[in-house]
């Protein structure tokens, strides 16, 4: 098997981490990607969130990803964690044919000071994700580089957390993830309660598609489709959901773009004619 490790403090986990994982799954031949929150980063004196909270939030953040596992190995050690020790543990456990170590580009400055760095180089293939502001760091031709257009620093989120009540921190962190599982449940519930039929949710989160999820539902008639859209707006907007675009020019097929979620409401005639979910499944879920 081919294994990847993405470790760090995750203090806190956020959408930049999610994007890095999605890019890794798309760009590399990976059978399993292990997320490894550290109990204590050897290069940091303290963390804002305790280790158990960071572990729990990571599990929530990556719960819907295929081929991703969040490990409690370093947290349970209750001591400083060194990457070389974790790599050796995972190699013994999984015996991977290929082992990728995922890094943010900001790690390059201190990489050679990591414990047993020369041994680590022999055990893994370094995969470096570019980060804004670190383009000046010299690149090693033996490393794999993947460009991402999003900062993966947690510092700005920590500053925002420090300005609000502590009992609101978890809610704020989950909001910063762009996590839409609650919205998905709301969308499905509203559509079904308002008599839409055959409501189907497609998870395309680690696929090369423009959104993470697609919801497809059948309306009884064009007027019903328009009503379903209005019901969704009335339910979701107070919860903070953003409708980035809505195409309701043809009431036979209405499309609502909520960023990570795209909702298609079609009349039965249009759904049978265009077979949208069958196309998406064939194109993104079954193709190897």
In this structure, what CATH number is given to the domain that contains residue 48? 3.40.50.620
Q: Both ends of the chain: CA-CA distance in Å?
A: 16
* pLDDT recorded at residue 181: 52
186 in the same domain as 172: no
153 in the same domain as 12: yes
Domains in the chain, number: 2
Distances (CA, A) of 285 to 4, 198, 201, 278: 22, 19, 13, 10
Mean pLDDT of 230-240: 88
264 in the same domain as 153: no
Structure token pair of residue 249: 């020019």
* pLDDT recorded at residue 75: 95
pLDDT value at 84 more than 70:
yes
Phi-psi region of 258 (alpha: psi -120 to 50; beta: other; left: phi over 0): alpha
Residue 94: pLDDT band with limits 50, 70, 90: very high
Q: Out of 105-114, 120-129, 178-187, which region has the weakest mean confidence (pLDDT)?
A: 178-187
239 in the same domain as 135: no
Torsion over CA: 74, 75, 79, 80 (sign): positive
Mean pLDDT of 244-266: 92
Q: Residue holding tokens 């082992």? A: 99
What does pLDDT average to over the chain? 87
Tens of pLDDT, residue by residue over 150-175, are: 555 677 778 778 888 888 887 778 76
* pLDDT recorded at residue 43: 64
Nearest to 152 by CA among 13, 2, 44, 17: 17
194 in the same domain as 95: no
Residue 134: pLDDT band with limits 50, 70, 90: low
Structure token pair of residue 40: 């204590």
* pLDDT recorded at residue 22: 85
The phi, psi pair for 117, rounded to 5°, reads -60, -40
* Residue, of 43 and 18, whose pLDDT is higher: 18
Mean pLDDT of 93-102: 97
228 in the same domain as 143: no
250 in the same domain as 122: no
β pairing state of 213-219 and 261-267? parallel
124 in the same domain as 217: no
Q: Are 125 and 30 in contact (CB under 8 A)?
A: no
* pLDDT recorded at residue 288: 44
Q: Which of 126, 158, 176 is the last residue of a domain?
A: 176
Q: Out of 55-69, 134-148, 214-228, which region has the weakest mean confidence (pLDDT)?
A: 134-148
Structure token pair of residue 50: 């305790």
Mean pLDDT of 186-210: 89
Q: Is the peptide bond before 283 cis (omega within 30 degrees of 0)?
A: no
245 in the same domain as 135: no
136 in the same domain as 69: yes
pLDDT value at 137 more than 70:
no
* Its pTM surpasses 0.85: no
Measured distance CA(267)–CA(213) in Å, rounded? 20
Q: Which of 129, 150, 176 is the last residue of a domain?
A: 176
pLDDT value at 205 more than 80:
no
Number of Cβ within a 10 Å radius of residue 210: 10
Q: Are 103 and 8 in contact (CB under 8 A)?
A: no
Tens of pLDDT, residue by residue over 31-41, are: 999 999 999 87
117 in the same domain as 61: yes
β pairing state of 197-203 and 213-219? antiparallel
DSSP letter (8 states) at residue 284: I
Q: Which of 154, 176, 198 is the last residue of a domain?
A: 176
Structure token pair of residue 122: 């022999």
276 in the same domain as 172: no
What share of the chain in percent tops pLDDT 70? 89
């Amino acid at each position: 098997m081919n294994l990847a490790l993405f470790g760090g403090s995750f203090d806190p986990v956020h959408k930049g981490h999610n994007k890095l994982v999605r890019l890794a799954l798309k760009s590399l031949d990976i059978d399993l990607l292990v997320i490894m929150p550290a109990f204590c980063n050897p290069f940091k004196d303290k963390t804002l969130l305790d280790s158990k909270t960071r572990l729990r939030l990571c599990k929530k953040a990556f719960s819907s990803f295929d081929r991703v596992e969040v490990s409690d190995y370093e947290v349970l050690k209750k001591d400083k964690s060194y990457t070389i020790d974790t790599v050796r543990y995972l190699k013994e456990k999984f015996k991977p044919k290929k082992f990728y170590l995922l890094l943010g580009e900001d790690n390059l400055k201190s990489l050679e000071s990591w414990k047993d760095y020369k041994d680590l180089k022999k055990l893994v293939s370094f995969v470096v994700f570019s980060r804004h502001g670190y383009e000046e760091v010299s690149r090693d031709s033996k490393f794999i580089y993947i460009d991402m257009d999003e900062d993966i620093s947690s510092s700005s989120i920590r500053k925002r957390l420090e300005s609000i009540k502590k009992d609101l921190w978890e809610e704020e962190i989950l909001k910063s993830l762009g996590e839409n599982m609650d919205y998905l449940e709301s969308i499905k519930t509203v559509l079904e309660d308002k008599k839409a039929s055959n409501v189907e949710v497609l998870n395309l989160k680690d696929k090369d598609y423009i959104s993470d999820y697609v919801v497809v539902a059948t309306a009884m008639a064009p007027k019903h489709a328009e009503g379903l859209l209005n019901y969704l707006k009335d339910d979701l907007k107070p919860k903070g959901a953003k409708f980035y675009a809505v195409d309701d020019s043809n009431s036979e097929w209405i499309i609502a773009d909520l960023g990570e979620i795209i909702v298609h409401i079609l009349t039965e005639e249009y759904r049978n004619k265009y077979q949208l979910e069958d196309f998406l499944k064939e194109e993104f879920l079954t193709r190897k």
